[in-house]
Amino acid sequence: MAIVKFVKLNSDAIVPTYGTPFAAGADLYALPHGDIKINSGETVMIHTGIAMQIPDGTAAFIFARSGIATKRGLAPANKVGVIDSDYRGEIMVPIHNHSHTQQVIASGERVAQMVIMPYIKAEFTESETLEETERNVSGFGSTGTK
């Protein structure tokens, strides 16, 4: 288990938590400073009041929580957020309301989940050719539906 240092930028901030012992994503909480109304089709920046020191060689990826995404239509506006290891500012989550009705983020509600993952840094090298594969240039839908 990795150690991730964090700073509470607001004394009321809620520290991220894992819902179960085997959960990959740590829940991020809205600052408990009152309910936040989000109109249909609107995006609102949700403050967490937390800043983190993401370990070198990893990044924090912000994903939707399945419950509020599927039941209420609330999900990160950028689909998957990426927090680089050199960012030290407040973690904020842009939540978009995909539903047809106004939704409310309750004070202190879990709004997204954060997964810390390693990544590979690439050096891009121009080439005249690429190795061929069975799929090769076949794109969208090329592997069928069943």
**Domain spans, the chain:** 26-118
Q: How many CA atoms lie within 13 A of 112 on its CB side?
A: 28
pTM metric for this prediction: 0.89
Cα(first)–Cα(last) distance of the chain, in Å?
A: 38
What tens digit of pLDDT does each residue of 12-62 get?
999 999 999 999 999 999 999 999 999 999 999 999 999 999 999 999 999
Q: Nearest CA to 105 among 56, 46, 54? A: 46
Question: By CB neighbour count within 10 A (0-12 exposed, 13-18 middle, 19+ buried), where does 54 fall?
Answer: buried
Owner of token pair 């209420």: 72
Which listed CATH number (2.70.40.10, 2.40.160.40, 2.130.10.10, 3.40.50.9100) goes with 26-118? 2.70.40.10
What tens digit of pLDDT does each residue of 70-100 get?
999 999 999 999 999 999 999 999 999 999 9
74-76/90-97 β-pairing: antiparallel
